[in-house]
Amino acid sequence: MANNTALAQALEAAPPPRPGLTANQTAPSANRSNGAREDALVARLQAGDEAAFRTLVETYAGPMLSAARRVLADTGLAEDCVQEAFLNAFNALDRFESRGSLGAWLKRLAINAAISKLRRTWMREPAIDPLLPQFDDNGCRFEDPWREPDAAVDVQMERTELREAVLDKIDQLPPSYRTVLMLRDIEDYSTQETAHLLELSEGAVKVRLHRARAALKTLLAPVWAETIS
Amino acid sequence: MSVVRQIRRALRLSLQKAGVLLTCEEFEAFVADFHEGRLDPTTRAKFELHLAFCPDCTDYLAAYQRSVAAAKSALTPQPNDPPPQAPQALIEAVLAAREAGSVAD
C-alpha cells in the first residue's frame, strides 16, 4: 500500500480539477460531448459501477502511459507510474468534481508520478554543457553554417523515420531538461506550473528550457543534414 | 568561411568592441524570450541588430526554432495516428490491484 503521504503529495500536485483552473486542467468548451461522456463515467465510478472502472482504465491508460513515457524515456518505469497514478486516482475519485477534465487530471497524475521517479536520478544525470553553444574570448559563437531544409517541419515530421529520429534525440537529453521541455513546449504547462511540479524556481525553469532547446538543436543537427544531402 | 561572412564578422567585432552591438554570448541570453515573443521593444531592436550583422547567430536561431517546432510536431499525435494504447497486461494489472484494494509502494 502506498503511504498516505505519497498519496497526499501526488494529489496536492494534481488536485481533482475544479472550474476556473487553467486550460490544462479543465475541459475546453469546444469539447462538450467529450465532457458529457466523462461526466457520465465519473457518476458511474462514484456509484461504484465495476464496469466503469474497466472503461476508465481502458480509455485513459494509453494516453497516461504515453505522457509518462515522454518524461522517463523508459516504458517499464512509465507503466509503473500509470499503475501508481490510477491507484491514487481511485482513492480520490469521490472528491472528483465532474466539471473538470478527467483525462487531463489522470494524465497529470501520471506525469507527477513520473517526475517523482525521475527526481531520484537527477543528481546522477549527465552534464548538458557539451551540447550547449560555445563562444570564443570575444563572445563570438562557434557555429557550423546551417542550411534550412526545403520542406517545412510539419511536412518532414510526416516521415516516420524522421519523427522517430527526433524522438530518439529528445530521449537523449538529460532527464531534468527533457522533462522541462516536455512540460513547457509539448504539454503547454506554464512556467509557474512547471516550477511548482519540479520544485524549481521559475528562473531555473526558464534557464533549463532554453538549455534543453539549445541542446536539442545540437543533437538534431546531423538529422537535418541527412535530409539535405 | 566565405569572404562576405568574414567581412561581416570583422564589422561585428568592431561594433561589439564599441559597445554598439551585443556579443553572441549576450545575444544567447535573449533567444528563449525572443522565441516566445517576450522581448521588450528596446531589447528586441538590439537582438535584431545583432542578427543583421551575425550570420552565425542567424543560423543558430533558425536551427533552434526548427528544433523546437520539430519536437512539438514529433510529440503531438498526428490526425491519422491511432490513440495511444496501453498493453492489455497493464490494464489487467491496474484492475487487479484495485480489486485487491492494494496500492503499490
Rounded mean pLDDT of A100-119? Answer: 90
State the amino acid at position B21 in one-letter form: L
Nearest to A139 among B24, B90, B102 (CB): B24
Distances (CA, A) of A226 to A147, A222, B11: 11, 6, 33
CB contact set of A168 (below 8 Å; sequence gap of 6+): none
- Give A183-213 pLDDT, tens digit per residue: 999 888 999 999 998 989 999 999 999 999 9
C-alpha angle with apex A212: A211 to A213, nearest 5 degrees? 90
pTM above 0.90, yes or no: no
Judge: A138–B23 Cβ closer than 8 Å, yes or no.
yes
- Give B1-42 pLDDT, tens digit per residue: 678 878 878 888 888 888 889 999 999 999 999 999 999 999
Q: What is the pLDDT of residue B38?
A: 93
Residues, chain A: 229
Judge: B90–A170 Cβ closer than 8 Å, yes or no.
no
Nearest to A185 among B60, B72, B83 (CB): B72
What is the distance in angstroms between the Cα of A214 and the nearest Cα belonging to chain B?
A: 6
Q: Does B84 touch chain A (CB under 8 A)?
A: yes
Q: What is the pLDDT of residue B20?
A: 86
Given its phi and psi angles, is residue A19 left (phi above 0), alpha (psi -120 to 50 degrees) or beta? beta
Closest CA relative to residue A79, chosen from B90, B60, B73, B65: B90
Determine the residue of chain B that is closest to A143 in CA distance: B56
Q: Note the helical H segments in chain A.
A: 4-13, 32-46, 50-72, 75-92, 102-119, 153-156, 160-172, 175-181, 191-198, 202-228
- Give B38-82 pLDDT, tens digit per residue: 999 999 999 999 999 898 999 999 999 999 999 999 888 777 778
Q: Which three cell numbers stand for residue A86?
A: 490510477
ipTM given for this complex: 0.84
- Give A25-52 pLDDT, tens digit per residue: 333 444 556 777 888 888 898 888 889 9
